Structure formats: C-alpha cells, structure tokens
Amino acid sequence: MSIKLSICIATFKRGPFIGETLNSILGQMEPSVEIVVVDGASPDNTPEVMAQYLLCHPEIRYFREPANSGVDADYDKAVGYARGQYCWLMTDDDLLRPGAVARVLQSMEDAPELIVVNSEVKNVKFSKLYVERSLAFSSDKEYGASDREKFFAEVASYLSFIGAVVIKRRTWLERNRANYYGSLFIHVGIIFQHPPISKVKVIAEPLITIRYGNGMWSPRSFEIWTFKWPNLIWSFADFSDQVKLQITQREPRRSISRLIRNRALGAFTKKEVQKFWPASAGKAERIVASLLSIFPASLANFLSVFYLSCSANPNQMALHDLLHSKHAGLLSRMMSRVLNIKSRKH
C-alpha cells in the first residue's frame, strides 16, 4: 500500500521525551502511515531509545545525522526522506490526542495543499491545562488563494508552532526552502512565500497536546521573538503592513515593556544589546536599551507578575515563565499565590 501520510519528527536531545511522543502516535497507526525521525546528532540517549522502537515498529524510519545542521535543515531532510503524499511536521516532545491521525487522513480526502491542526497546551507533566484551544476556532475553516490576507491574519501567529503543519510533500519540495535555513521557522517561510497556497484547511478540534515549558529555544528566546520572528514575518511581500502588524511589531526591540519582560525572565542583558542591536539604532534607543539591560531583574520579575495580577484572566503560560525564572524572588511568589486565590474564587 502506498504511503498517504508521513509523520516527520526532527529531534535533538529529547531522549527522555521522544518515547512518549512516539507512543501517542503508534497507538493510532494505519497501514498508509509512516513515522520518519531525523536525529540531529543528539549527544544524549536518543539513539538507544530509538533502537528499542525500531526493533518492534517497522513503520518507523530513523535517520541519524553525522552532525547537527539545525532544526530547519532537519525538517527539510525529514520531508526529503518521507514517502507520504502529505507530511505532518510533528514535534519531538508533544503528544497526539486519540483519533488525531484518522482525523487528518479524513481531511486529506479533498486534497488541500495544507492542513493546520489545532492544539491544546498543558504544563510539562500534562497535569494542568493552560490553553484549551490555541486557535479559538469553534468549527473547521477553509482558505483559498484569494483569502491569503485573512489566513495570514488569523493563523500566522499560531503557525510559529511547527507541529500544527500537515503539508503536501510536493508543495514543500517545489518551494524555496534554502532561504529559510537558520530562520528557525522554515515551515512559515514555505507556507507564506509567493505564490499563495491554493487550498488550506484548518481543523478546529485540538489534535495535539503541547508540553509547555520544555522548549529547547528558551536560552535564545530574546533573539527569536525580538529579531528572527519579526524579520521573517515582515519579509513577506504578499501581505500589507497593517496585517503584518497584527502578528508582530516590525522592530520589537523598541518596546520598553518587551525589554522589561525579557529582563524579568533573565533573557535580556548587556550581552544582548551588544550582540543584536543594529548599527542603525539611534543613540537614545541604545541608551534606553542599555539601561534596561542592567535594571534589577528581580524587581522586573515582580513588576511583571504584579502586572499579570491586574488582569481578570492572567496568562498562565506567561506566569509560568516568570515564576520559573532564576529572578523570581519572594515577592513574585507571594503575588502568584494571590493570583491562585483569586482564580479559585472565580
């Protein structure tokens, strides 16, 4: 039987987690589905974990690279190794919910170029629900090429999560990929480059459980969300500045509140100013950034937690990040207890 769907996983240093991810998929496998795992030369026990699965599951194909070439190249390689008509770019520590594979196979029947899969978000141990639906869609949606601006506005932010993407393998291979190596979001570059994708389906039902707080990118979060992500979004010529502004500011580095929040997380120091600030930045901007980079991080953390406490519905993921920062002091933790009492009352 020909392969309809390749579940493509690029992995690096996920030995403790990838088995749980594979288990969530293997329980719903069908003869027309394969799993392709590209290991970017993980220095942990990933090869040993994979060896155990390969003994029992011939539907898994494992490719260990001799050196790490980055997440973009590894996903591109996974699609290249795949044999399916469609490729689901699955993450290496999240879980598929029961029935997810069957639901995606059903959505493939009328041949969309791209399927976007909704998700829920839980904590690292999957014991606490943070977000019930990452996309607040109550029903499935479809977009054509003429809807590209609407699709971009409604879905682009969510597509920073690569696990949401199920794409025709031919579409992926026909598009410019090399230009997006190093962006950390090769899939977004492929989806939103010209020409627009002709048919997109969005599945409103969450089919993935995201394990929040386990990100490999945390040490680079400031660079990614202040520079890499905005540079990518603002590079797309097909979309108006107005709609791109709905996704991200063009130059988030100018936002004082963003800098304070990153300072509170320990992600923004003098090193970031020296490394990332462009030569074109004005003197006043550079002075403000430099001063904020040495602002007391524990105070910034408390102020950020306090700000969240003023919201009727505090962002639980933002709170998680603040309280797991090394700069979360006694005042921040006391404020978080106030938030917990407040939420229980409601």
Identify the residue with better confidence: 305 or 85: 85
Q: d(Cα 88, Cα 79) in Å, to the nearest integer?
A: 9
CATH superfamily of the 5-211 domain: Spore Coat Polysaccharide Biosynthesis Protein SpsA; Chain A (3.90.550.10)
- The number of angstroms, rounded, from the C-alpha of 21 to the middle of its chain's C-alpha atoms is 16
Residue 213, sorted as left (phi over 0), alpha (psi -120 to 50) or beta, turns out to be left
Residues 305-308: contacts with CB under 8 Å, at least 24 apart: 305/331, 305/332, 305/335, 305/336, 305/339, 306/335, 308/339
Q: d(Cα 344, Cα 238) in Å, to the nearest integer?
A: 46
**pLDDT 10s digits, 203-257:** 999 999 999 988 766 678 999 999 999 999 999 999 999 999 999 999 999 999 9
Q: Domain coordinates of the chain in residue numbers? A: 5-211, 218-345
Would you say 133 and 120 are in contact if contact means Cβ atoms under 8 Å apart?
yes
Phi, psi torsion values for 142, nearest 5 degrees: -130, 145
Lowest mean pLDDT among 116-120, 157-161, 216-220: 216-220
Average pLDDT of the chain, as a whole number: 94
Give the Å distances, CA to CA, from 194 to 152, 189, 217, 235: 13, 10, 28, 11
Lowest mean pLDDT among 18-22, 28-32, 298-302, 315-319: 315-319
